[in-house]
Amino acid sequence: MSGHSKWSTIKRKKGAADAKRGKIFSKLNKEIMVAARIGGSDPSGNTRLRAAIAAAKAENMPKENIDRAIKKGAGELEGANAFEEVFYEGYGPSGVALLVESLTDNKNRTVSEVRHLFSKYGGSMGEAGCVAWMFDKKGVIAFSRDAVSEDELLEAALEAGAEDLQVGESEYEVITDLASFEKVKNALEEQGFKWEVAEIQMHPKTTIRLEEEKSAQQLLKLMEMLEDLDDVQHVFANFDIPDSLLEALG
């Protein structure tokens, strides 16, 4: 199973204590504006915008903030920056592939900041396309193994239109294509399945398992620092760290 759902869970649990709410809202605001600019202001016909709104609601972003961001992105209000979506690629400790998703109005600034962090935390930035081929854009809905039955979840997920169910040490990941993501998520919610993570991800085709504490710690620090950059929306990686090691790292 990919490490990204574990990473999302780590961030959510940490967030209860130390999330910078303003920074989170800023990133969500940019994603909503870009989604509305690209696909229009009607969420019913814009999958990316629907996902962005769902993410904003999950973070308790006020409705008026969401509506204003949609209108700015669609050109109905002034004040929207010309953010450009740019992906940066490279390798972290132990050769883990990293795909950095950014929304920026200054590519020179962003690439300089990203390259600096790759170098500082034991990674190396690569050329465009060097790792993107290792990922597919998928809907991912993760559930705690302690909370659901594998057989019941598999049956419900496939019936709702999911592509696959992947089994990890402590989580199940329901994998969907982009068009089916919300339908599958809603169907599972209606049947009482409570997810831990539900988001659109760049999902790795294969993973690298990290057993050594130093490499795992260095990788997680690199991802944390990259995601703390104002211009970075998400960092995707193809790592798999054992749960016991994640617990030891806190």
Same domain, 165 and 219: no
In a domain, 127, yes or no: yes
Please indicate, yes or no, whether residues 128 and 222 belong to a single structural domain of this protein: yes
114 occurs within a structural domain: yes
Do 189 and 142 share a domain, yes or no? yes
Nearby residues of 103 by Cβ (< 8 Å), 6 or more positions away: 27, 30, 31, 34, 83, 84, 85, 86, 231, 233
Q: Coil, strand or helix: which one is 202?
A: strand
> What's the number of domains the chain is made of?
2
Instruction: Burial-class residue 135 by CB neighbours within 10 Å (0-12, 13-18, 19+).
Output: buried
**With contact defined as beta carbons under 8 Å apart, do 230 and 113 qualify?**
no
**Residue 109 sits in a domain of what CATH number?**
3.30.70.980
**Predicted TM-score of the model (pTM):** 0.85
Give the pLDDT of residue 92.
Answer: 95
Give the H/E segment covering residue 125. strand 124-125
**What pLDDT, on the 0 to 100 scale, is given for residue 20?**
67
Task: Look at residue 10 and tell me if it is in a domain.
Answer: no
d(CA 206, CA 2) in angstroms, rounded, equals: 8
Q: How far is CA 168 from the centre of its chain?
A: 18
Position 205: which residue type? K
Q: Is residue 25 part of a domain?
A: no
- β-pairing, 171-176 vs 135-144, is antiparallel
Evaluated on CA atoms 30, 33, 38, 41, the torsion sign reads: positive
Domain that holds residue 106: 84-133+207-249
**Cβ contact 10:241 at 8 Å:** no
Tens of each residue's pLDDT in the chain, 250 residues: 455 666 666 666 555 445 566 788 899 999 999 999 999 999 988 888 998 998 898 888 999 999 999 999 988 887 667 889 999 999 999 999 999 999 999 999 999 999 999 999 999 999 999 999 999 999 999 999 999 999 999 999 999 999 999 998 889 999 999 889 989 999 999 999 999 888 889 999 999 999 999 999 999 999 999 999 999 999 999 998 888 888 787 6
pLDDT at 17: 45
Task: Look at residue 129 and tell me if it is in a domain.
Answer: yes
- Both 116 and 216 in a single domain? yes
Q: How far apart are CA 16 and CA 242, in angstroms?
A: 23
Answer for the pair 157, 147: CB distance below 8 angstroms, yes or no: no
Note the pLDDT of residue 24.
86
Cβ proximity of 210 and 241 under 8 Å: yes
On whether both 102 and 152 belong to a single domain, the answer is no
Residue with tokens 């953010």: 83
* Structural domain contains residue 123: yes
